[in-house]
Structures are given as C-alpha cells and as structure tokens.
Structure 1
Amino acid sequence: MGGRKNRDGISLAAFAREMGVTPNAVRQRVQRGSLAGSIFPDGSVDAVAARVQWFANSNPNQARRKPTPKTSKLFQAGEEAADTSEYDLKVERMQVDLEAAKINLERLKETTVDKEEARRAIRSLMRVFRAAMLNFANRYASDIAAVVEADPVQLAGTLEEHMRLALGELAKTRAPMDAGAFGESA
C-alpha cells in the first residue's frame, strides 16, 4: 500500500469525476491557469476552491455532458450507482442555484414583481377607485347640473344612487391574480 501519498486535497482524476469531466479537461485548466490557487504544492486539488473557479470560468450556456455509466462489477453491485446519484444531486442543486440566480437577476433588473406585492397594489388601487366613485356625485353634480339645467341636489342624489349600484355589481367581480373581490378591503 505504499503507492498512496498523504495529500492535502484530492487527485486530479477524483476532481474530474466529481465535475463529470475527463481528467484531461482538468489538466488543461490547470495548465491555462484557470484553477490557479486551488492546486496544493503536492499537486492535489482543493476541491471546494477548484469547483468555485471551475464554474466562475465556465460558459453557463454550454450544455454539460453526464459521464456515461460504467458497466463494471462495482456498478452492478450498486456502489457506482450511489456515486451517480450523488452526481445527479449535485447537478440538480446547481440547476436550482442557477434558477435562483436568474430570478435574483430579474429582480435586480426590476422586470419581475412579487406576486403578493402586486396583489396589495391591486387592492389599494381598487379602494382608491371606489372612494373616487363614491365622491363623484358630490364633486361634480353642481357642474353637471349647470350644463343640463337640472336641480343640483336631485342630480347629486341620483348620481350617487346609481354609482353605488354600479359599484355593488363591480364588487361581485373577481380581481386579477385572485386579489380578492373589488369591494373587499384588506
């Protein structure tokens, strides 16, 4: 058993297996300096630092290939299947992290709005609209009465009555995104 050294990190081949690439791909990145600072003096790899640098220097638009499953006795015994499922979990975790980063980027660009925030804004707008409509008769009845030559008090009463009927019908209508009924207050 004298062939195994005490290393500070993992071997290039082990890191390549973790990343789902060939050992040659890892060697190329080491030669290019893409993994600078994540290689220990003994030649082993600091897996955490190397993984961060690997993804920082990768093109996220390129599709990653999964390693082909081996058909050895280990694979048949189920030991390799455990490694493959761990790899799949890592890939899924990276996809979730990528999706979260995309959502955060959209929020930073202000292209998305929180659903609950939109609901509150709709409810608030509905309350303002309802209040404006209930005050319409009192504010404009005298001006309208002067134009149509009618009694301002009678016109104000008629407008308010019909405005309340219209708002009552509108209150039965559902708002977008299930913000609630028009007449509800939150």
Structure 2
Amino acid sequence: MAGRKKVEGISLAAFAREMGVSPNAVRQRVKSGRLAKAVLPDGSIDSVVARVDWFANCNPNQQRRKPAAKTSKLRADAEGAEETSEYDLKVERMQVDLEAAKINLERLKETTVDKEEARRAIRSLMRVFRAAMLNFANRYASDIAAEVEVDAVLLAGVLEEQMRVALAELSKTRAPMDAGTFGESAC
C-alpha cells in the first residue's frame, strides 16, 4: 500500500484560500519569484514566510478579497476561534496612526492644550487667588469697619483668620485633571 508523500507546508490552493485570492494569483507570484523563499523543496508552501512576502510585495488597497464574514466564519468553524487577518491588523494600525495625526494637527492648530501645561496654569491661578484672598482683610477691613461701625483692627484680624480657614479647606479639594490639591506647591 503506497502512502502519500508527507508535505512540510500547505498546498498552493490552501494558501490561496487562506489569502482570499485565486490559486492562479499565487502561481503567478511563485513564478515571478516574489514568493520564491516560501516554496519548500517538496513543492508545498511555508504559510508564514509566504504571508510575510505576500504583504511585503502588495498594496492592500488593490487586493480583491472574499467577504470577511464568510472567511472568518469558515475559520471560526474550522479552528474554534476567530482570527484577525494581517490585512485587518494593518487597517487597525492605519486607524491608530490617523488618530495620532489628528491629535498632532489639533496641537499645531492650538485647539488642544498639553495636560501638564493645563496643570501648571491651574496651580498658578490658584496661587494668585490665594494671595488675593490673604490680602483681602488688609485692603478692605477699614472700609467695611466704617460701614458697620466696628473696630477696623479687630475686623481685619477676624477676616484674615476666617480667610485662612476657608483657604485651608479649599486646599484639600481635588483639582481638575488630578493635578493634586490646590494648596500643593509647584515643582
């Protein structure tokens, strides 16, 4: 009983099905030498090497592919798990690159602000606010005291003490974007 010859790789037709192209397209690439490294001595095709060579020498936008739903369903049935093709990975990578390019464009147009720059601006604003509140009692105590007819020095002391208590409470409040507390000093 003569047995079949054991092959190391897969057949040309199997590789064509895997790639979603006709067997003739694979034959043409082998004949032209673009898949020469993938052809094993027994005539079968090393699938991994062939896929690398295939995508290195083609434009994925010009490739005719079978509908993804049919091929992925067949793969899922055959292997028990859904597989992502190299083409799909390239498309995902291109989408990520496109999103990064859009972010860079927004930065160039100055429609976005760097997170660290926003944190520094918030800290600076809060320092100015704190200084203004600490000076409030000294600047306005005499005017308020004259209006309500109390001792200006006593009123200034009470106002300053209450401002410090209010600022201490405010310093425990979290700033936007996790910049730390408002009372934190900058680096």
- Asked whether the two chains share a fold, i.e. TM above 0.5, the reply is yes
Give the structure 2 partner of residue 20 of structure 1.
61
Alignment of 1:42-121 (within 5 A): 68=67, 85-121=85-121
**Deviation string for 1:14-68 (max 9, x for gaps)?**
8995323357xxxxxxxxxxxxxxxxxxxxxxxxxxxxxxxxxxxxxxxxxx654
| C-alpha deviation, 1:176, in angstroms | 1.4
Which amino acid in the other structure matches residue 89 of structure 1? L
Deviation at 1:147, TM superposition (A): 1.9
**CA deviations over 1:98-138 (Å, ceiling 9, x no partner):** 11111112223322211221111111111111111111111
How many corresponding residue pairs? 132
Higher relative contact order (CA 8 A, sep 6+): 1
Higher-Rg member (1/2): 2
Aligned residue identity for 1:153: V
State how far apart, in whole Å, the 1-side matches of 2:133 and 2:63 are: 70
Listed as ranges, the gaps of 5+ residues in structure 2 are 1-30, 34-54, 76-83
Identical aligned residues as a percent: 77
TM-score, with structure 1 as normaliser = 0.56
The 3 A distance-change label for structure 1 pair 146 and 87 is same
Tell me the residue number matched to 1:159.
159
Aligned-partner residue type, residue 173 of structure 2: T
Secondary structure of 1:156's counterpart equals helix
TM normalised by structure 2 equals 0.56
Distance 1:93 1:67, change over 3 A: farther
Counterpart CA distance in 2 for 1:161 and 1:98 is 55
| Structure 2 equivalent of residue 185 of structure 1 | 185
Alignment match, 1:149: 149
The code of the aligned residue for 2:119 comes to: R
